[in-house]
Structure 1
C-alpha cells in the first residue's frame, strides 16, 4: 500500500511511464532529416555534407487541439467586432485582435461564412545548459488569436504550443564566408517543412469542432510572428541594418518625419528572384535583402511584414532605454555615473519599488526586470542635474514605454503615445549639441515608429511581447532538457513534453467528467487565472480577514485577522512610531466623527495596532483585467539584537506614502482634484469603549496640496506641511486612503553626496518632492494619461469658448472620462 492508503497501479518508474504513454495525447512528433551539402571539398574533391534533424508536428492538428479545447470556451472569439467608447462611434478601442483592423480586412477576403483563425508564431534560440556548455534549442511556438491574450500569456494554460525545434548546427561543411547564408536558408527550409500543412488549410478551409461544440469552416492564416529584431530580419529576408517592416534608407532611420514605404511581399519576391536569375538587382539592393528562398511565399493570404508586432522587452526596455537613452542621459549629467548612483541610493522607498542600494553602475547582470525598476525613478534621478531638453527627451521615451504597456488602447491613448515619441524626437538634438551622439540611425529607435499602426491592426502590444516567449522556454524547453541525461536531448525533450501534455489532458478531462473533482494541476494553471495582475506585494504573514468596503471609491481594504500588537498604550505609540500628539489627534477625530461620545483617550488608553492594510484597487482595463493589490505599511523601527543564531539586524520604520481623499473630486479640475498626499505612521482599530466601528483608523502626517506639473518632467510637486515647525498630522478613517503613492525627493542641481540623504531619511530631509507617475502602470494611467487627457480637453474647451464667444453661443461641456 502507498502513502495514505493509496494503492498505485504501477510499481516502479518504468511502469508509470508506460501507463502515461498509454494515455491520449496531442499531435504526434515527427523527425525529418536533411542532408546539407556545403561548399568545402575533401581530398577526393567531393563536397562535405552534414545531416541535420528537424523535430516537428502538424500545425493544423495543433490548431484543432487549441480551438476545440472546451476550457477556452469563455475566452474565445470567432468573428471581428468594433468597439467605441462614445455613442457617436468615435474614440475606438483596441485590445484583442478580433476588435482590430487586421481581422476585418482578412474577413473581407475570405468566402462568406468563413471563420478566420489568426495564427501566431514565435521562435527564439535559447541556451539550455545553465553554467557551461553550448547546448542550445530553437523552439517554434504556435497559438491562435481566437483565444484571449490573457490566456495565451499563461504558459500552464497551454494556449501556446510547441510545434517544432529548428536544428542548431555548426554547418562546418561551409566556409566561414558562406556559413551565415547557409544558416539563413536552412531556417527557411525548416519553417517551410513545419508550416506546409497550413497551405491547404489556409487556401480551401478546414472544418473543425470549436470549443463551444459548433463545427465551423476555418481558414488558418499567419497573422503574427513574435520575435526579437535579429530574428525578424531573418524571417523578413533583410539585412540587420534595415527595417523588417519598411524600406527606409538605413541612413535615415533616425528621422521621425521620413515617410518610408511598407515592404510588399510580391515586390520582395520579385527582387529576390531577379537577384537569383541575373546575379544583380537594383531593387534587391535598395530593399537591403538577403538572397534566401522565404518560407512564407506560398502561405495563403500572408503579408509577413505586417506580422511583426512590437517587442517591448528587447526594443524598448533593453534597447531604446537601457542601451541608448539612459546611457546618453547619464553622460549628459555633471558627475555622470557617480551622481546617478548617489541619487539612486538616496531614493525614497516604496513596497513596489526596488532600491538600488549600491547604485546601478555596479549591477553586472541586467535583465528586463532591472530595466523596468530603473525606469520607475529615472526621471526623478535626472531632474535638475542636466539640461531641460535632456529631461524632456527622456520623459518622451518613458511615456512611450508606459503607453506601450497598456493592455487596452483607445484613439486617445494612441494619440498621446504618438505625441510622447514626438517629444523625444523634438528634443533629441540636444545629445548632438552635447557631443554625445553624431546620429540617431538606430534600428530600435526607428522600429518604434510602427508601434501605433501595429496596435491598430493587431491589438495591444502585451499580446505579442517576447517576454511570453522567454517564459515558454522554461516550461516547454529547459525543463525537458534538465529532466534528461543531456544525450540526444531534442528527441528526449519531445518525449518529455508529450507525457506532460498527456497528464495535463487527463486532469482536464477528469475535471470535466467528474463534477466536483479537482485535478492536481500546477499552481495557477488554467485560463481562470489568466490575468496579469501588476501588484508585486501580494503575500505576507498576515492572513487578511477583516474587510472594509468603501462605497464611494469602490476600494476593498483588507486587514489581518489579528493585529500585530494588542494593548499598545497611546504613550508607547507616540514613542515607538513617532506619532507626535497621538492622543490629541485621536480625540480631535473622535469629537468630529462621534460627537455624542463624552469620554476622551489618555496616554494609558490602549489600542490594537496593525502592520499593514492591503487595498484592492478598482479595475482599470488599460492596466489589467484583474484587481491590483496595493499594500500600505506602518511599522515601527527595530533595533539590532544578538540571538543564539547570531546578530539580528535592525530595520528602519516602514511608513507608506498615500493619496488621501480630502474632498469630493471635480473631474473638470483634473484627476487629482480632492486628493492630498500623506504618510501613514500608525494603523490601528477604534477601541470599543469609544465607539463600535468596523472601520480602522490611520495616523498620518500631511504634505501640502499638489502644485501644477513642472514643465519639463510633467510631475506634480509637493512638500511637507508643517505647523509650528512640526509636521501637520491627524487621524483619518482608513477608507479615506485611495492608494499608495511614491514621492521622489527633488535633488535639483545639488550634488547628492553633499546632501547626505539616504533612502530612510530623504523623505524627512528633502524640502520638496515629485509625485512619481512611473511607479506602476496604475499610477501612470492616473498621473500621466488622465492628466494629459484633461489638459488636452481643457485646451479644446478654451478654444470652444473662444469660438462661441465670438458667435455668441455657449458650447456644451466636453468632459467625459472613461474608467
Structure 2
C-alpha cells in the first residue's frame, strides 16, 4: 500500500528517573542495574553458584541462513511506520532497548530425544508440531517429565523484599490499591499510628506516604518502565494561517510489550488455565466440534492464524519453530471519557493480553489483561476537522503508533525465544498478532476502510445485505492499491488507499482477519438497542397519533418497570425513558423487552426480537459447538426474514445496510476462527477502563493527569505482582493478624483462611476466599449500576455440584400451627406432615399402600417440635456464560420474606426439577416460595420450602416470544395448590414476566404486586444466560 512520509516520530524517553538497563546474568532473574559493579554485587549475594557468563551452546544454523529464512517469512512494510527492521539473531543473549535479556532458541531440535505431545486431559487433539515442548533456559529440549527449575523470585517463605514484613506489604496494598487513599490522608493515618506507638518506643510501618511510595516503586516484580515518543505532521504547510494540529507534537506513551508478555507468561497464577498448544476439541457425547478458547479455534481449517502471509506455509512447517509454543497477542483499544462535566477529557488506552490464557480467566482476572499504552488523540477546530489532510494524519498517527509500540515483539514472530511459562518450565515461544478488540468506528480505522463499509468483506456501504461478497484480505487489498487510483479505491472498494495498516509491518498479520467479534457494541448496543428498539418506537409513533403513541410508549415503560425483582437485574423504575445509556442498561432492557412490547406491535416485530436475542445468547455461550453454530445460523435466518416488517411498515423504507447489523453474517466464521466471542468482547476492555483509566484519573490532580495515571498504573502492577509472588510462596495464608501471632508462637483465634463472610442485607453466607486462581468474572461490571438487585454474584473457586442452602442466619423458631394462622395457610401443618410422610416412606416398595395411607390424617407422622424460619436461601450453580468465578460457579439469593426493604413482601419463584431425564422446561415446574424453614424429626434435619405451584399452559413455548407460559395452579374453590418440598428439589431462581396482551397496565400497579396481579406469565428465559440454557 502507498506509504506517506508526512508523519515523523522522535524523542523516545522514559517516565521519571532513568531506569536501570543492565540485566542480571542468571536467566529468569528480573533485576536490572545501572552499572556492572551493581550487577557483580547482586551476583555474589543472590546467585553465588552462577558463573559470571552463561554457557552459550553453538547455533545449528549460521546467521546468514537465519537471515535468509526471515526474509522469506516476513515482508516488512514500507513507509513512515517502519522505524526499524527485524534484528539479526544469534544464539547468544542479546540486549533489547529495554535492557531485558533475550534468549535465542537453536535452529533445529535434537533428533535423538523423543517427545510426547501434551497430555490430552480430555479436551481434544493437540497440534503435532506447535506443541509447546519444554526446554532448558538455553532452548535445548529436555525430557517431558523433568521438573521445572526454581523461579528466581523464590527466595523462601520469609523474604518480603522490598517490604520488611507482611504488615508493611498489607498496609501498602490496602492504602494504595484497595482504599486508594490520598497522600495527605495516608500521612494522617501514619501520624495517628505513630502517636499510638510512641509510648512503646515503636513506629508505624512507614513514616509517611512518600516512604511508602518509594518502597512500592522499588519493587522489581512487575516493573515495566513507561516510554514515550513524539509524532508530528511532516508534510507541506499551507500559506497563510497554519492549523495548530500541523505544528503540534503528539506524545504516545507505552510499555515494552515483550516484557509485558514475559510477565504474563511467567505468572504462576495462570497455571491450570493456560493452553500451551493449539488443540481441536470435541464433545465426547455427540462428537460435535467445540469452539471455546482461542487456542481451540486456531487449529482448524477455517483459521489462518498458523499461516504465514507470504508463503501460505504453516508456521509448524518451519524447522525453526517445531516444538515451540505459539503466543498470539490480543490487542484492544477504545476511547473513553473520564469526565463529561469538566470538558474534553478523553483518553485512548491500548490493552494487551495473550490468547493462551483461557476465556474464563481473561474475563475474570485483571492481571490477564494489561495496559500497553495510550494513543495520542489529535484535535482541531470544527473547520479543520473535516479537512482531508487532518483526517489522513489521524489515521497515519494511529497505525504508526501501534507499529512502533509493538516493535519489540517482531523478532520473536519469526525466531522463537525462550520464555518461562506459568508451570515454571521454559519453552520456546513464537509470537504473532492475534485478535484485535474494537468497536466498529475503530475497526474501520484499523482496517483502513471507508466508514459504513464492512472491514471483513467487500460488501459496499449501500449493499451490505444484498448478496454474498468475498472476504477482504491483505493480499487482495495490496493488489487493488497497485491497480487503482485513490478515488477509485475510496468509491468502488471502500478503501483508504494511502494508509498502511500497522499489521503490514508484522509477519502473518492481516488486519481483516484479526478483527474479532464484539457482542457488546455490535449486538447489544448496536443491533438491539440502537436499531431494533429505536425502530419499534418509530413504528409506534408513525402508526398512531402523537397522543396515542405516547400512551402506548408510557404503557411499555410501565410494563418494563413491573419486572419482578431478580438477582442482577437492573430495574427501570420509570421505564426506558432516559438519555444516557450504558452497556448494562442495554443488557438489562434486553432481558424484559419482549414481554413489554408484545401486544402493542405486530407479531413479526416480536419474532424479530426473539431471533436477535436468541442469536446474542447463543453467541454469548461459554462453549460453542457445531450444534450451537447450526442454532446460530437458524436464529440469523429468522432475524433476516422477520426484520422485513420494518421495511414494509415504512420504518426502514430504504432497507438496512448497517455495519453492526451486517456483522452478524460473519459470526459463524469468526467463532470458528476465534473461539467463543465472550472471551474477546469489548466489555473486557471497558471494565479495564475503570482500574486503568478512570480511577487513576480521579486520584490525580486532574491537571496534565496522564503522567500521574501512568505512575499509578505502574505501582498497581507492582503491588499485584508482589501479591502473586508472595501467594505462590505460601506467605499470605490466613489473616495478617493470625500470621503474625503464629510467627510469635502465640495462641491465635481460629481463622478460616478459605472463606470470607459476605453480608447481603442482614444475612451472611460463606463464600470461598478470592485467593489464587479464584477471581471473579468482571466482563459485565463495566458500567455497574447501583439500582441493580445485588442478590447474586460470582462464586470463586473450582466447579462444584449445584446445591441450595438455607441462609446462615435464621429468623425465628415457632410451632407450625401458630405459623399457619399468622400467614393464612391453615393447611401448613398438614403439608409438613405429608412431606415428612413422603420422606420416611420414599423407599417403600409398595407405593400404592403408601399413597392410600397418605390420604388419612391418622397415618401422617406427628409434628411436635418447633420449626425454624429463614427469609432466604442460597442457590449455587454452574453458569459459565454469566458473571461467574474461574470454575464457572455463581450464587443467587432466593427471597421469601413478608416485608422487603421496608415495603411489601417478596416471594421469589424457582425452578423445581421434576423429571431429570427430560431436557429443557419439560423437566421443570415453576413454583413461588412462600416460606423457607427447617425442622428435625428423629434426629434428621429437613431443610424445606413451602411453595405455591404454577402449571404449564401449553406443551410448548409461545411461538411469538419463544418463552413458556405458566399460570397459577388452583383448586376448584380458587385457592392455590401448595405443598412442602425438600430444598434439594429447587434448582435455582426463576423470573416470571406477565403476559400483558393487548391490555394497558393500571398505573397504580407496582412491581411488588406483579406476581399476584396477572392470570398468566412468561418463564423469562432471557433473564440470564443460564436460564436461556434450561428454559427452552
TM-score by length of 1: 0.84
CA–CA distance in structure 1, aligned partners of residues 497 and 735 of structure 2: 51
Match of 2:832 in 1: 586
Partner of 2:604: 389
Contact 1:347 1:744 in 2 (8 A): yes
1:98 aligned partner: 295
Partner of 2:646: 431
CA offsets 1:116-170 (integer angstroms, 9 cap, x no match): 11110111111233631212221111111111222222353x1222222111232
Tell me which moved more, 715-724 or 594-603: 594-603
Counterpart for residue 201 of structure 1 = 412
The answer for the alignment partner of 2:663 in structure 1 is 447
Q: 1:419 to 1:31 in 2, by over 3 A?
A: same
1:780 is aligned to 1028
Could you tell me how far apart the structure 1 residues matched to 2:618 and 2:524 are? 13
Deviation for aligned residue 1:534: 8.9
Q: CA RMSD in A?
A: 3.4
| Displacement of 1:94 | 0.6
Q: Is the partner of 2:442 in helix, strand or coil?
A: helix
Cα deviation for residue 290 of structure 1 reads: 5.1
How many positions carry a matched residue from both structures? 750
Q: Give the drift of 1:273.
A: 5.2
For residue 654 of structure 1, what is the aligned residue in structure 2? 906
* 2-structure distance, mates of 1:510, 1:683: 43
Alpha carbons of 1:503 and 1:518: their partners in 2 closer, same or farther (altered >3 Å)?
farther
Given candidates 532, 536, 559, the residue that maps to 1:329 is 536
Match of 1:811 in 2: none
Measured against aligned partners, the alpha-carbon deviations of 1:527-548 in whole angstroms (never above 9, x if no partner) come to: 332556999877699xx9xxxx
Gaps of 5+ in 2: 1-192, 307-313, 737-752, 757-768, 782-787, 842-852
Matches within 5 A, 1:484-495: 484-495=700-711
1:628 matched to 2:839: no
2:468 to 247, 252, 259: 259
Q: 2:217: which partner in 1?
A: 21
Deviations 1:412-461 (A, max 9, x none): 11110121111111111111222211111111110111112111111111
Distance 1:354 1:682 in 2: 26
Provide closer, same or farther for how the CA distance between residues 38 and 339 of structure 1 changes in structure 2, counting only shifts above 3 A.
farther
Paired position in structure 2 for 1:403: 618
Q: CA deviation at 1:249?
A: 1.7
Aligned residue in 2 for 1:675: 924
Tell me, yes or no, if the aligned pair for 2:928 and 2:949 is still in contact at 8 Å.
yes
Please tell me whether the aligned partners of residues 665 and 673 of structure 1 are also in contact (alpha carbons under 8 angstroms).
Answer: no
The answer on 1:719 being equivalent to 2:988 is no
Residues 216 and 733 from structure 1, CA distance in 2 versus in 1: closer, same or farther, beyond 3 angstroms? closer
The structure 1 residue matched to 2:941, chosen from 694, 699, 724, is: 694
Once the two structures are overlaid, the 10-residue window that deviates more, 398-407 or 16-25, is 16-25
Tell me the secondary structure at the aligned position of residue 414 of structure 2. Answer: helix
Asked if the contact 1:139/1:162 (under 8 Å) is kept, the reply is yes
Aligned to 2:271: 73
Shift of 1:41: 4.2
CA contact (8 A) 2:633 2:668 kept: yes
Whole-Å Cα distance in 2 between the matches of residues 616 and 512 of structure 1? 28
| Cα contact 1:37–1:50 (8 A) shared by 2 | no
Structure 1 range deviating more: 413-422 or 37-46: 37-46
Query: What is the aligned counterpart of 1:33 among 230, 234, 237?
Result: 230
How far is 1:182 from its partner? 1.4
- Alignment of 1:609 onto 2:869: yes
> 2:683 is matched with which residue?
467
Counterpart for residue 374 of structure 2: 165
2:419 counterpart SS class: strand
- 2:315 counterpart residue number: 109
Q: Is the 8 A contact 1:39 1:174 kept in 2?
A: no
Q: Which moved more, 1:479-488 or 1:775-784?
A: 479-488
Do the aligned partners of residues 533 and 295 (structure 1) sit closer, same or farther apart at CA in structure 2, a change above 3 Å counting?
A: closer
Asked if 1:190 is matched to 2:397, the reply is: no
User: Retained in 2: the 8 A contact 1:116–1:218?
Assistant: yes
Distance 1:297 1:704, change over 3 A: same
Pick from 725, 728, 734 the counterpart of residue 512 of structure 1: 728
Is 1:482 the equivalent of 2:694? no
Which residue is equivalent to 1:666? Answer: 917
Matches within 5 A, 1:294-313: 294-313=501-520
Q: Of 36, 57, 60, which residue of structure 1 is paired with 2:255?
A: 57
- The residue number in structure 2 matching 1:739 is 988
Cα distance change on mapping 1:366 and 1:590 into 2, 3 Å: same
Deviation per CA, 1:234-262, whole angstroms, max 9, x where unpaired?
A: 1000111101111102122234xx22111
Post-superposition CA distance 1:193-246 (Å, at most 9, x none): 112223222122322222223332222111110111111111000111101111
- 1:613 positional shift: 0.8
Secondary structure of 1:528's match? coil
Distance 1:465 1:45 in 2: 41
1:776 is displaced (CA, Å) by 1.3
SS at structure 2 position matched to 1:424? helix
More divergent stretch after superposition (775-784 vs 380-389): 380-389
Is the Cα–Cα contact under 8 Å of residues 622 and 880 in structure 2 kept in the other structure? no
Query: Any idea what SS the aligned residue of 2:271 has?
Result: helix
Going from structure 1 to structure 2, the CA distance change for 1:175 and 1:727 (only over 3 Å counts) comes to closer
1:179 Cα deviation after fit:
1.8
> Shift in Å at residue 584 of structure 1?
3.3
SS at match of 1:713: coil
Measured against aligned partners, the alpha-carbon deviations of 1:510-558 in whole angstroms (never above 9, x if no partner) come to 33345555698999575332556999877699xx9xxxxxxxx953222
Please name the residue that 2:123 is paired with. none
3-state SS of paired residue (2:922) = coil
Aligned to 2:451: 240
- Distance apart, 1:43 and its partner CA: 5.3
SS of structure 2 residue aligned to 1:117 = strand
Larger CA deviation: 235-244 vs 4-13: 4-13
- State the 1:464 CA deviation: 0.7
Q: 1:147 to 1:632 in 2, by over 3 A?
A: same
Q: 1:154 to 1:198 in 2, by over 3 A?
A: same
Structure 1 residue runs without a partner (length 5+): 545-552, 639-648, 785-819
Secondary structure, aligned partner of 1:244: coil
- Secondary structure at the residue paired with 1:101? coil
CA contact (8 A) 2:835 2:980 kept: yes
Deviations 1:625-661 (A, max 9, x none): 42221322111137xxxxxxxxxx8411111112223
Segment of structure 1 superposing worse, 408-417 or 348-357:
348-357
Q: Answer whether contact 2:568 2:792 (CA < 8 A) is retained.
A: no
Q: Distance in 2 between matches of 1:540 and 1:87?
A: 32
Deviation of the 1:393 alpha carbon: 0.8
Please say which of residues 531-540 and 769-778 is displaced more in the overlay: 531-540
Change (3 A) 1:685 1:484: same
TM-score (structure 2 length as normaliser) = 0.68
Distance of 1:594 and 1:60 partners within structure 2 = 66
Provide the C-alpha distance between the structure 1 equivalents of 2:486 and 2:562, rounded to a whole number of angstroms. Answer: 62
Match of 1:797 in 2: none
Deviation at 1:324, TM superposition (A): 1.1
Q: Which digits, 9 at most, give the CA deviation of each residue in 1:26-63, with x for residues without a partner?
A: 32221212232466546599995212212122212221
Please tell me whether residue 150 in structure 1 is matched to residue 365 in structure 2: no
Name whichever of 201-210 and 589-598 sits farther off: 589-598
1:345 — aligned with what?
561
* Structure 2 residue matching 1:703: 3-state secondary structure: strand
Tell me, in whole angstroms, the C-alpha distance in 1 between the residues paired with 2:605 and 2:960: 9
Contact 1:55 1:164 survives alignment (8 Å): yes
